[in-house]
Amino acid sequence: MSKKKLSRGVALVGAGMSKFGAFPGLATRDLFVEAFQEMLTTIDKGIDPKDIEALYIGNYSSDLFEHQGHTAPIMADWTGLAPRPATRIEDACASSGVALRQGIIAIASGLYDIVLVGGIEKMSDLPTAEVTDTLATASDMLYEIPAGFTFPGFYAAMGTAYMHQYGATPESFMHVGIKNHNNGTLNEKAQFGATIRKIMDGKIAKAEAKGYPVPDWADEVEFLQDNRANPIIAWPMRLFDCSPISDGAAALLLVSEEIATQFTDTPLYIIGSGQASDVALHDREVLTSIKAARLAGQEAYEMAGVTPADIQGAEAHDCFTIAEIIATEDLGFFAPG
Sheet strand arrangement including 54-58: 54-58, 114-122, 247-256, 10-17, 268-269
Rank residues 146 and 213 by Cβ distance to another protein and give the closer one: 146
Does the protein bind its own copies through residue 150 (CB under 8 A)?
no
Neighbours of 258 (CB within 10 A): 11
Does the protein bind its own copies through residue 7 (CB under 8 A)?
yes
Separation of CA 102 from chain center? 17
Cβ-contact 327, 176 below 8 angstroms: no
Q: How far is the CB of 154 from another protein (least distance, A)?
A: 8
Q: How far is the CB of 34 from its own copies (least distance, A)?
A: 17
- The contact mask relative to its own copies for 259-298 (x = CB under 8 A, - = no) is ----------------xxxxxx--x-------xx--xx--
Say which residues have a Cβ less than 8 Å from residue 242's Cβ, sequence separation at least 6.
Answer: 152, 233, 319, 320
Q: Phi first, then psi: what are they for 16, rounded to 5°?
A: -145, 160
Q: How far is the CB of 67 from another protein (least distance, A)?
A: 10
Does the protein bind its own copies through residue 85 (CB under 8 A)?
yes
Beta-strand relationship, 114-122 and 54-58: parallel
SS3 201: helix
Rank residues 159 and 297 by Cβ distance to another protein and give the closer one: 159
Category of 16 on φ-ψ map: left (φ > 0), alpha (ψ -120 to 50) or beta: beta
Binding site for its own copies (CB under 8 A): 1, 4-8, 27, 53-55, 60-61, 63-64, 66-74, 76-77, 82-92, 98, 102, 104-106, 108-112, 133-134, 137-142, 275-280, 283, 291-292, 295-296
Which residues of the chain form contacts with another protein (CB under 8 A)? 16, 18, 23, 25-27, 30, 33-34, 36-38, 40, 49, 77-80, 82, 128-130, 132-133, 136, 140, 142-150, 152-154, 156-161, 164, 170, 231-237, 280-283, 287
